Amino acid sequence: MPALRGATDASVRVFVLKHKRVEEAALLIRSHLSESASVTLTQRLNAMTVTDREDRLLTIGRVLAAFDTPPRGFTFAVRLVRARADVPAGSISQEIGGLGAKLRSLLQFNDYALIDSTVLRGVEGQSVEYRLGDEFLISFLIGPTGSGDDLILSPFSLARLRRDEAGRVRRATLYRAPMPITLNQTLVVGASKEESSKTALILILLAQEIPRGGAERGLADTKTVERKP
């Protein structure tokens, strides 16, 4: 009987999260709690106090360690291309290389000229904004991600910058929509037709994850304080 009583005695542990919100963590651990468990949140410290059996607390500790990881970081290789049908075939910008030939095989344009290209960096939950060339601006928010290869940039926006008669810069939105992307896969978007139906803008995007050091530390990253009731 002493062994059985020891297995069912309640313990108290305080989990302090570093990266994720304690409210989200509380929902995550709900299925791992016993019927007699109790959870108290201290939002000011981003911490939760859990009273439960020791075996349940060990499981909860592992779940929280896997959940409370730093935000994932990504690079976004972006190219903005002007496509034209009103020029002779064969004039493909050298900066686009083989991709220009691929675009020509897919779309009804003769010429693909690079406007600008860049590689941007950001982490989940962060907004990114960059000026492409002299007159275009892209911006997007990196939505929360799980552990897979799919993420959503929402909203993703491409705008043209122009000065009005007073000299103020105005944005004219050309494309704005949630953009689901898959890591390591090139995405080609017909971002906007320009004034002439024979000219269009094409956005080429490749997202990759930045390796995150220390992710293997696991449980050591979650601070806990244990005390017996």
Q: What is the SS3 string spanning 194-226?
A: CCCCCEEEEEEEEEEEECCCCHHHHHHHCEEEE
Domain ranges in the chain with CATH number 3.30.1370.120: 2-70
Sheet holding 73-84, edge to edge: 111-123, 73-84, 199-210, 187-193
Q: Residue 45 has what DSSP assignment?
A: G
Q: Per residue in 118-174, pLDDT tens? A: 999 999 889 999 999 989 999 999 987 767 899 999 889 999 998 888 888 888 998
Looking at residue 103, its pLDDT comes to 59
**Buried b vs exposed e over 119-131: b needs ≥16 C-beta within 10 Å?**
ebebebeeebeee
pLDDT at residue 224 greater than cutoff 80 = no
Which of 40-44, 70-74, 102-106, 122-126 has the largest mean confidence? Answer: 40-44
pLDDT at residue 86 greater than cutoff 90 = no
Phi, psi of 98, rounded to the nearest 5 degrees: -65, -25
Assigned fold of 2-70: Ribosomal Protein S8; Chain: A, domain 1 (3.30.1370)
* Antiparallel, parallel or unpaired: β 111-123 and 127-132: unpaired
Q: Which of 19-33, 81-95, 213-227 has the lowest mean pLDDT?
A: 213-227
Mean pLDDT of 99-125: 75
Phi/psi region, residue 184 (left: phi>0; alpha: psi -120 to 50; beta: rest), is left
